A and B are shown apart, each in its own frame.
Chain A
Amino acid sequence: MFQIIIAIALVCISLSMLGLIYRVIKGPSIPDRVIALDALGINLIAVIALVSIFLDTYAFLEVILLLGILAFIGTVAMAKYLEKGVIIEHDRNK
């Protein structure tokens, strides 16, 4: 019973990731795609949590924290690139 519930949740999250991929492909502007990719990364965290319950092992739980950090850094870098045109500014040379 419990495994069936985990499987149902995995199917729901897979469907929602498919919808997000549709938004990444179609999205009319670049921030749309970045938002959808950020949500994809966050859904991937949920997939890892559910798979580690499904396989009944706690070896993968470090990946959760790692993916959270990576999704945040990627989104911040894309936002800064969209806003200023560079990600790391060279202030000293000015």
Chain B
Amino acid sequence: MIEISKIIVAILILLGAFLSLVTTFGLLRLPDVYTRNHAASKAATLGIMSIMLGTFIYFYMEHGHFNSRVLLGILFVFFTAPVSGHLISRAAYNSGVKLWDKSVRDDLKKARENSKSTR
């Protein structure tokens, strides 16, 4: 295995682990569901994608094994993690979870009232 690819893999994996820790701090410290979802669905996705890219490069460089399933996994996580974040956030709003009490704007509420009045 070439030395520089080892360094690249190590950097990618440490970056992914750091982003995973950032996700957890976001989930523990942010005040309401929507901000927590904002933290979880972005940082976790990027961290896991970089860890999987590091794994792919490791097996390609060490064993010469081109594993297409890891690439498919990267693509799949990249496509579906924001979608599931959107779905769960919309479900939280529709099932009546309150915003943080210091938040100042709720544009979705206004838009819903407008669509109800025009209907």
Residues of A at the B interface (CB closer than 8 Å) are 2, 5-6, 8-10, 12-13, 15-17, 19-20, 22-23, 29-32, 34-36, 38-39, 42-43, 45-46, 49-50, 52-53, 56, 58, 61-62, 64-65, 68-69, 71-72, 75-76, 78-80, 82-83
Chain A nearest CB from B62 CB (Å) reads 8
For B87, the chain A residues whose CB sits under 8 A away are: 75-76, 79-80
Q: Is the CB of A19 within 8 A of B33?
A: no
Q: Is the CB of A13 within 8 A of B20?
A: yes
Q: Judging by beta carbons under 8 Å apart, are B47 and A5 in contact?
A: no
Q: Which residues of B are in contact with A by a Cβ distance under 8 Å? A: 6, 9-10, 13-14, 16-18, 20-21, 23-25, 27-28, 33, 36-37, 40-41, 44-45, 47-48, 51-52, 54-55, 58-59, 62-63, 65, 67, 69-70, 72-73, 76-77, 80-81, 83-85, 87-92, 94-95, 97
Is the beta-carbon distance between B44 and A43 smaller than 8 angstroms? Answer: yes
Q: Are B13 and A50 in contact (CB under 8 A)?
A: yes
By secondary structure, the A interface counts as: helix
> Nearest chain A CB to B35's CB is how many angstroms away?
11
